[in-house]
Amino acid sequence: MKKVVVVVTLCLVFLGCQPKVEKESVTLLNGYWEIEKVVFEEGEDKEYPSNDSFDYFEIKGDTGFRKKVMPQLDGTFQANDLVETIRVRQKNDQIFLDFKTDFAQWSEELVKIDAKELVLRNAEQKEYHYKKTGPIKIIDNGKTTK
C-alpha cells in the first residue's frame, strides 16, 4: 500500500512540474520541423536519424496549415498538394492543434515548444519529437554549405 501511495505521489509531482505551453508560443511553430523520434505510450522510442521530408507549419492567429516538404540540395523544397488545415484550440491549460484534411480530422496536444524543439501528443498517447530545421544548400560540388 505504501508503494502505491509513493508512486501516485511521484506521478502527481511529475505531472504538476511539467511546464505548460502558452498560447502565444504557438507562433514558434512557423517554419520547418524534422521528426527526431516517436515515444509510444509504453515508453518505447522509435528514432528517425535522417528524413526525406520535413513538416512545414504556417500559423496566423488561430488557423494555419501543415504540409510535408522534401528538401533539395539547392536549398529549395518540393511539396505536393496535400495540406492539413490547423485550428489552434485552448482547453483548460492545454493547447491543441485540430487537424483536418479531405479524408480525416484529429487533434494533437502541443506538449512543448521552443525555438529548437517541438513535442506533439496524439489521442493514442504517442509523442512526436521534432527539431527545428531549415533548407539544405550544398554548393561548390559539396565543399561548402549554407
> Is position 112 within any domain?
yes
> Is position 67 within any domain?
yes
> Is position 121 within any domain?
yes
Number of domains in the chain: 1
Give the Cα separation of 34 and 134 in Å (integer): 9
> Is position 16 within any domain?
no
Lookup: cell for 61:
492567429
pLDDT at 18: 56
pLDDT at 136: 85
Contacts of 31 (CB under 8 A, 6+ apart): 56, 57, 132, 134
Would you call 25 helix, strand, or coil by DSSP? helix
Regions of the chain short of the pLDDT cut 50:
4-16
> Is position 130 within any domain?
yes
pLDDT at 143: 60
> Is position 132 within any domain?
yes
pLDDT at 22: 87
> Is position 6 within any domain?
no
Query: Which residue segment(s) compose the domain that 111 sits in?
Result: 23-145
26-58, pLDDT tens digit by residue?
999 999 999 999 999 998 999 999 899 999 999
CATH number of 91's domain: 2.40.128.280
> Is position 14 within any domain?
no
